[in-house]
Amino acid sequence: MNKATVRRWAPWLALVVVFAIATSALSWWQFDRRNQRVDRINQVVANYDLSPQPFDQIDWSINPDGKSDQEWTPAIVTGEYLPQEAMLVRNRPLNGQAGFLQLVPLRLASGEILIVERGWLIASSDLTEPASNPLPQPGSHELVVRLRVGEPDLGREEAATLASIDLTEVASRLSRLGPVITDRYGRVVTEQPSYPEAPLGMPKPSLDEGNHLSYAIQWIIFGIMAFVAFFWAYRNDRRLLREAAGLAQPKLKRKTRADLDAEFEDANQ
């Protein structure tokens, strides 16, 4: 390979290599997203339908990544609802409809406050508040809840409603009432006494992996195709140069149906 050929094709090869690196990175990103999704699905499968255990007997812990291996575990908890301190979490669509989540503090016998997500409320026509907001009565209740890790702070300005179930922010709003549990909250499964009007319970998380695996494979294929196209173009260019120099026979053009029809018409004139 002479210097002219190198100068001509090296930039194209570099471009193909950069493209392949980019597609590889995108492929690994999709593999990582799939792994995260599979881990979440496995956790739901492992914990969601377990028999409820007393809240204080569940060995709850938070991993370094901020998640918990016990998430979705059902727990039995008894305490006193504080409906006057209820909060709403905005921007929670369900089945294509705008809505809110209702959070109600539950004071436990220990004096700690557990945040309870009672369910979903459809938004009113102006989308600024729920169409209705049925609250529980104050007093003692026995609940079965599924334990969840709190959500991250989204960095929004403080408002009457919450941007996420950021338990640190919730605790700051309720600090006057006593210690608030900030490493978990509970999503209601059942509550006693029950109420004829209550928020809609949130559905079981989807167990669908999504399209991450197929997207990852597609990015790998794109990277391979770039190299295939490069080497095809290089070989074709070298062949044309050899033909122009008389060092190789010109490649015969494959006849199309139109060519054959034209030859047949010429032969019968």
Cβ burial 110-149 (10 Å sphere, 16+ → b, else e): eeebbbbbbbbbebeeeeeebeeeebbeeeebebbbbbbb
Q: Which residues contact 262 (CB under 8 A, 6 or more apart)?
A: none
The answer to whether 55 and 144 have CB atoms below 8 angstroms apart is no
Residue pLDDT, tens place only, 178-218: 999 999 999 999 999 999 999 999 999 888 888 899 999 99
Residue type, 100: F
Residue pLDDT, tens place only, 43-87: 899 999 999 999 999 999 999 988 999 999 999 999 999 999 999
User: For position 259, what pLDDT does the model report?
Assistant: 63
Nearest of 94, 96, 67, 87 to residue 163 by alpha carbon? 87
The answer to whether 144 and 76 have CB atoms below 8 angstroms apart is yes
Share of the chain above pLDDT 90, in %: 68
User: For position 115, what pLDDT does the model report?
Assistant: 98
Share of the chain above pLDDT 70, in %: 90
User: For position 240, what pLDDT does the model report?
Assistant: 75
Rounded distance, CA 178 to CA 114, Å?
A: 11
Q: Model-level pTM?
A: 0.76
For the chain, give the mean pLDDT.
89
Whether pLDDT at 248 is above 80: no
